[in-house]
Every structure is written in structure tokens, then in C-alpha cells.
Chain A
Amino acid sequence: MSTTAENSQRRGKAPAGERVADWADGRLGIYGLAKANMRKIFPDHWSFMLGEICLYSFIILILTGVYLTLFFHPSMAEVVYDGPYAPLQGQRMSDAFASTMHISFEVRGGLLVRQIHHWAALIFVAAMLVHMMRVFFTGAFRKPREVNWLFGFLLLVLGMFTGFTGYSLPDDLLSGTGVRFMDGAVLSMPVVGTYLSFFMFGGEFPGTDFVPRFYSVHILLLPGIMAGLLVAHLILVFYHKHTQFPGAGKTEKNVVGMPLLPVYMAKAGGFFFLVFGVIAAVASIASINPIWAMGPYRPDQVSTGAQPDWYMGFSEGLIRVMPGWEINAWGHTLALGVFIPLMIFPLVLVAIAIYPFVESWVTGDKREHHLLDRPRNHPVRTGFGAAWLSWYGILLVGGGNDLWATHFHLSLNQITWVVRIGFFVLPVLVFIATKRICLGLQRRDRDKVLHGRETGLIKRLPHGEFIEVHEQLSQEALHTLTAHDQPKPLEAGPEVDENGVERKIGPITKLRTKLSHGFYGEASQIPKPTPEEHAEITSGHGHH
């Protein structure tokens, strides 16, 4: 009775929303959660929305993917096509292919959803790569965010394989060729390869099992793991609070920006619709994976210019440019020409994944970092990132060597050789060039701080000399340009201790100090201008 009285009493005061929130708070404790997060501050920078594109395309993939499962038959049972697409009528094909044809030609809006799904997949992986590069080049992976870097990396790798298993499902001629390639790669593995291949395909390639098996991997296993990683990734972003670029009023101990409610609710929430809208528009005007043009898979047929989806392109490059080495001994065959690319494939990815740990080991930096680096202020890191990108890029060229040859009228064999050599040489050249560019930009920053900004105004002095007027930078700009660290390289310490006894310096310590000098030695950073230097120049006369 008393509760009813209390309720009716309250009804007059509290609005309905508050009462619902009270109900939820009594069971879920939402007020505590909201206190910490509702007005959480997020810094603003255009590059911070790259991760949002990943999140939103993942959501779009789930939404459209669920729709597609309502119509797709993950079965390799043979059917004869009798649908509306005349060129394939009477052809034998798997039910998977036929149901994809059905989605494309008979389900109203089915083609649109299929195309949104595939476009979103391409954009998803591309956005993850670009987002990862943003995090890499600004040093956002440093403590305390190394674990989140790994979560993100795993999402990238899983995204690639989810994509691969997804585009193999329609069982068309192009994707079947990709599956055959995967089978060939598995077969090349010493000792276990043949068994793995038979277990994967339920017998000999292609068999009738791989579509249903890929299906459960594609719609359940991988997306399930990814959803978990994604939630963990986002929780950590909230928990760590977002990084910010250096600037006036921004320190390692604060986060400057606008609150989640209302600004980022509106901006980030709105951005989901922008991404979805753009992908829907793209899917309406740009055809993707037109399986009807390729036809159903037959192991004895192939089309020219066969290409995987772009994110698998670098593995395609590895397999195409590798010389066909093969060892036959003691009744066994080791197909190095396939096995080595299969091993380098994960290495390319792992090289970038472990970088945060290498950097923190080499530099001995165990502090927390919340202010982002400008790429120029870390020439070695930036050089490494650019070198990695060039490595990835040259493999993409190798993966499309036939298309490069036909589009640009080049010799296929020459392209292959360029990629073979470029695989080793290009990253080195790019590293050197990038590092020098970074140092040049550091010099320019130093110049700007000490001498001000070029205004473009020419002044004629009384004695006839022309000078360009330089304008002093604002205090904000001066601070921003000099806010970064210039760490000193590690030293191995003296070779003898205070008692004159020789100290043993292990090879690992030696390597580490050497690398540290590479990172932070004189050849890798231009000394920052100091306020004293600045004062000296600006106070002196004759300065212009």
C-alpha cells in the first residue's frame, strides 16, 4: 500500500524518463556508469574518425549479413539453373551459387544488400589498415595502449579471413579459383599439408563440404570473436581516454575536447549514417563481384585477370613473384615456391604488430603517453612505417602483375623481377628517404620557431635591400612545435666500474644501445630550439 502511495506521489514530480532510469539504476546501477561516461571528454581531430569507419562498417556488415543468411543456401548440392538470367539457364551449379543468383536477380533489393555487404567488407578492412597507420605514425600505440594495439591488429587479421571465407561462399568461378589457391598453399606444408587439405575439404578438392564449412566460420566463428575483440577495443578506448595532439592547454595529464553528450553523440552517431549512406549509394551505382558474369566454379576452367579482394592482394603478390623452388629428396617434396610465401604472409603482418614492443624495448621508454607524436618528430618510427607500407604496396603490385602488364603495356616478366628486387630494396630506400624528409621537416619547424613564419611580404630597406618580413609565431604555436620529447639514447655505461674492474656488456645490451642511438642519436633528431635561443634572437637588433 505504501508503495502505491509513494508512486502516485512521485508521479506528480518525476518525468517518465527519470522513472525509467530509476528503475534501471535499481537493477543495473546505470547512474554510476553514466556519471563517468555521459559527459566524457573526447578530443577532436579528423583522423580520430578512421576507427569509427571501421566500427560502422562492421555494424553494416552484421546487419546486411543477417539479411543475406535469410536467402543464401550454404549447400553444394548440384542444381540446374532455371532462373531469369538467360545466359546461365540450364547450367549445372551448386545451390550456393544458384541461391546467390536468386538473391541478385529475384529478391527485390537483394542485389543492393549483397553489394552493400561486399562494399562494406572492402571498406572495413581498408579503414582498419588506415586507422592502424594513424595509430602507428602518431605513436598512439605506446603505453598504456599496447594491448589495444594488439586487439586492433587481431581484428585486422580476422577481418581479412572473414572476408576471404565470405567471398568464397557463392562458389563462383573467381572465388573457387581463390579456394584452389588456398588448397595449393595448404598442400605445400611439410608433413601435415595433404592431411589438412583432406580434412578441410572433406576429401579431395573441391568436394562438397567447403561451402557449408566456410559458412559457419564466416557467419559465426570469426564474427563472434571479432565482436568480442571490438567491444574490448572500445572499452579500452573509454578506459584509457582518448589520446590528443599536443597544443596549448593540452598535457599528458588532461584530455581536452567536447563532451560525449551531446556533441559526440550527435557527431559519432551521425557519422554512422553518413558512412552507411555513402556505402549504400556506392552499392547502387558500382557493381561488385558480379558472379553471373563469372559463372559457377569448375576446377578445369578459369578466367584471366583473376584477382582476390584487395586485402588478400599482398599474399597474392608473394605467391606470384616467388621463384618456383622445389626440393625432392627421400621420397618427399618440399614446395618452397609455395611454402615460403605461406610463411612470409603472416610475417609481413607480425612485423608491424610487434613494433610497439620493439620500440619500447629499444628506447627503454616505460612511461604513459597520451599526447600524440607528430610523425616528423620520430623519424625512425615514421621511416619504418613508410618502409612497411612500401613493402605491402610492392607486394600488391606483384599480386596484380598481369593487370599492370595489360593496363600499362609492360612486360609481365619485368614487373615480376622489379617486384622481386623491390621486395628487398624498396623498403630500405623508402626508410632512408622518409627519415631524411622527417629531419628536413624538423629543421623547418626549428626555423619557424626561431625566425617566425614567412609572410610573403617584401620590404625595401632605406639602403635598397629587399627583405621578406617574418612574423613571430604565437605562443600557442611555439608551444605546440616544441612540446615533444627529444629523448637521449641509452648508454651501455662505462666499460669499467668505479673500482676500475672491467664490466661485462652483453651482446644484447650492445645491440640495444646501438639501436637506441639509431632511434635517438644525433643523426635522428634535430635539436629543438630552446626558449633561450629564441629570446637571444628576438631580443637582438638587426633581426628581421
Chain B
Amino acid sequence: MSQDMSESEENLPSEPSHAHGGDVPAVRGENAFADPGLPPHEHRRQDIDERAAKSSERTIAFLFLLSMLSTIGFIACFVVFPVDKIIYVFPFGHVSALNFSLGLTLGLALFCIGAGAVHWARTLMSDEEHAAERHPISAEPEVKAQVLADFAQGAKESGFGRRKLIRNTMFGALALVPLSGVVLLRDLGPLPGDKLRHTLWSKGKVLINQNTNKPLRPEDVPVGSLTFAMPEGLEENQERFQKEIAKAALMIIRLEPNDIKDKRERDWAHEGIVAFSKICTHVGCPISLYEQQTHHVLCPCHQSTFDLSDGARVIFGPAGHALPQLRISVNEEGNLIALGDFTEPVGPSFWERG
């Protein structure tokens, strides 16, 4: 084959006329100082002094013996220590006696086997270096020629290149058949629909204080503290609880009405009490850090910071838009209620959010 030789010479650049010039990288070892060859083997003490060898042997045997003892210790600890026993071990503090003792005995049993084997290899096994030859990875030209000829023969006998109709329909069939597998994945989940647009909040829903599990009243919301609320009717023992609270979680603070810079926020508040989605608009962590002097809230996951006195706009961090506000008021019993659902989707942005 004429291309055989090009393999070793494709040292670039693409112009063949220069493939032989200064483009060929320097030959390995060019200008190297002469190689004196492998240094003579130096004997270790164990190779020439049988007493030293015996001492190594004893050390190794001792390590293996220690491993055996440790394993017995492991079994003993497993039997002796109750699973809930806590002991004080300096400097680790109060630890589970079982975990501590099992781990150390197991660790020692394993480590001693390793240490023994390595010590054996280093002191008693021959440390004479040998040189083995390497052989090129690529096949000899004759082998390659034979393989190419065989392939051509096989391809010809199959008629693969000649009978294009068979070839193309086979490609078509092979390309289509995985589609069944893709279709089978369809029932992994329902389509999103508008599920991300709605939460459990609706007009008249009472805000339930998550600490007391009682309806939240304006007088329960002191200045300078963060209160968490969920919609009435949502109970922790319901199956839907996790996915509903993931959208409906609410945080409530009381501001001086005059401190509220954003007009809409003031309109949607009740006597300075404002309710915002607790779910960060970045990637959906619940926001939980409140700075009462500045009315900033900070998401502890990625540090997006929102100004609750100014429409919960983003003032720092990776969040892309303000926290949605829930419009609230008071019903005839004096409980805080929602005046509707959030007007925009809560939580992280998604393509259809708009």
C-alpha cells in the first residue's frame, strides 16, 4: 500500500514539500550526554547479611500476626459493645464506641497486611532491575496490508458497497429502531402544563403560621422578625405536602409603611405586613436569612440578596429577578388572608415563564 509510509512521516505541515525540513521535531536524545547504561545492582543489607534478613522476616511475620489479632479484636468489639454506647475519646470527643473500635481494628488488620506485604517486597524480594523491550504498537506493513485485503475481500463478498438498496434500508431501519426506546421514556413524568404557574394560594385562603400551626393574625407579626406561613388546608401528613410547600412557602415581615419604597409593594401589604415567596428565584432554595436593619434577605445557598423594602428586588448575587409578592389582607375574623395566587410563577426561572 502506498500510504504505508506516510504514517511515520505525517509530521505536518499539510504541504508535503516541507514535511521533511525543519518541521520534523528533534530526534529523541539529540545532544544528550552519553547514556552510561543501567547502573550495577547494589545489594541491600538483607541480601548479604542473613541476620538482617531474619530480622525483616520477623518484622513481616509480626505485622501479619498483628493483623490476625486485630481481626479477632474486631469480632470481640462487635460482640461486646452495644450499638448505642457513646464513649469519650480524647481528642475526638464523644464517639460511638462500636464505630470507633470496629473502624480502628479493621483499619489495623488491613493496614498490617499491606505493610507486611510491602515490607516483604522491599527488603526480601529481589530488587534487581530488569530491562524489557518495548515493541511498536502499530502493526507491521505486511500485517496491515493483509488486514486491508481481508477487509476488502469480506466487504466485496457481502455486496455491501454494490447493493446500495440493501445498505440504505438497513441504515434506515437501524436509525429508526432506537426511537421505540425514546418513546418508552415518555411516561417518566407528566407534561409540565401550567403546574409551575400556580400554587395553593387563592382568594380568601388563610395564612397559617408554620411555627404555631394556627391562623396568622397581624398582631402576631412583630417588627424585625421573619415569619413563615403556608396556606390553610395544607397538612404535613398529606402526600402532596412536599411539592405544594415547595411552591407555596411564604415569608412575612412587618415594615413601617413609610419605609416601603415600592408603590405596588405598599398596595399589596396589609398595614406594612408584606408576604413574599420564600423560594429563591435563582435555583429554588428556601430563603431564610433576614437582616432586620436593612430588610435584606439572603439565600443561604448561593447568597442572592433581595431588598424586601423595595419590591424584593435583587441587590446582589446570582438571582435573575425579584421574589414574587403575595397580595394579602385580613378577613372578618382578623386573620391574614391571601387576595389571590401569586401573579407570576415562584421559584427558579424556566423557559415558559415569560
* A488, B22: Cβ atoms closer than 8 Å: yes
Contact of A181 among B210, B247, B285 (CB under 8 A): B285
**9 A-B pairs (CB sep. < 8 Å):** A111-B99, A197-B350, A206-B246, A263-B121, A263-B127, A302-B288, A333-B349, A335-B348, A503-B15
* A109, B301: Cβ atoms closer than 8 Å: no
Check: A368 CB closer than 8 A to any chain B CB.
yes
* B350, A188: Cβ atoms closer than 8 Å: yes
Contacts of B249 in A (CB 8 A): 299-300
* B192, A198: Cβ atoms closer than 8 Å: yes
Inter-chain CA distance A249–B84, complex, in Å, is 61
* A281, B103: Cβ atoms closer than 8 Å: yes
Contacts of B164 in A (CB 8 A): none
* B36, A326: Cβ atoms closer than 8 Å: no
Please give the distance in Å from A539's CB to the nearest CB on chain B.
15
* A284, B21: Cβ atoms closer than 8 Å: no
Inter-chain CA distance A237–B314, complex, in Å, is 53
Contacts of B137 in A (CB 8 A): 144, 239-240, 368
Ranked 5 nearest A-B pairs via Cβ = A284-B103, A184-B283, A270-B117, A277-B111, A249-B38
Interface residue total, chain B, C-beta cutoff 8 A: 117
Contacts of A464 in B (CB 8 A): none
Given known pairs A193-B351, A204-B246, A280-B110, the reply for A84 and B84 (CB within 8 Å) is yes
Contact residues, A428-477 vs B (CB, 8 A): 449, 475-476
Inter-chain CA distance A319–B348, complex, in Å, is 13
Inter-chain CA distance A230–B141, complex, in Å, is 31
Inter-chain CA distance A326–B321, complex, in Å, is 8
Inter-chain CA distance A144–B120, complex, in Å, is 34
Check: A320 CB closer than 8 A to any chain B CB.
yes
Inter-chain CA distance A512–B17, complex, in Å, is 17
Given known pairs A188-B348, A300-B278, A491-B21, the reply for A198 and B190 (CB within 8 Å) is yes
**CB nearest to A318 among chain B residues:** B318
* B130, A302: Cβ atoms closer than 8 Å: no
Check: A112 CB closer than 8 A to any chain B CB.
yes
Contacts of A252 in B (CB 8 A): 28, 134
* B131, A364: Cβ atoms closer than 8 Å: no
| Residues in A lying within 8 Å of B, measured CB to CB | 40-41, 78, 84, 92, 105-109, 111-112, 115-116, 144, 177, 180-181, 183-185, 187-195, 197-209, 239-241, 248-249, 251-259, 262-264, 266-267, 269-285, 298-306, 316, 319-326, 328, 331-338, 363-368, 370-371, 401-402, 412-413, 416, 449, 475-476, 478-479, 481-483, 485-488, 490-493, 497, 503, 509, 512-513, 528, 530-531, 534
Contacts of B8 in A (CB 8 A): 366
Contacts of B113 in A (CB 8 A): 270, 273, 277
Contact residues, B339-354 vs A (CB, 8 A): 347-354
Inter-chain CA distance A337–B118, complex, in Å, is 52
Contact residues, B169-202 vs A (CB, 8 A): 185, 188-192, 195-196
Most buried by B among A111, A204, A253, A305: A204
Most buried by B among A273, A274, A276: A273
* B132, A255: Cβ atoms closer than 8 Å: yes
* B114, A271: Cβ atoms closer than 8 Å: yes
* A249, B37: Cβ atoms closer than 8 Å: yes
B280-293 to A contact mask, C-beta < 8 Å, 1/0: 00111110110000
**CB nearest to B278 among chain A residues:** A300
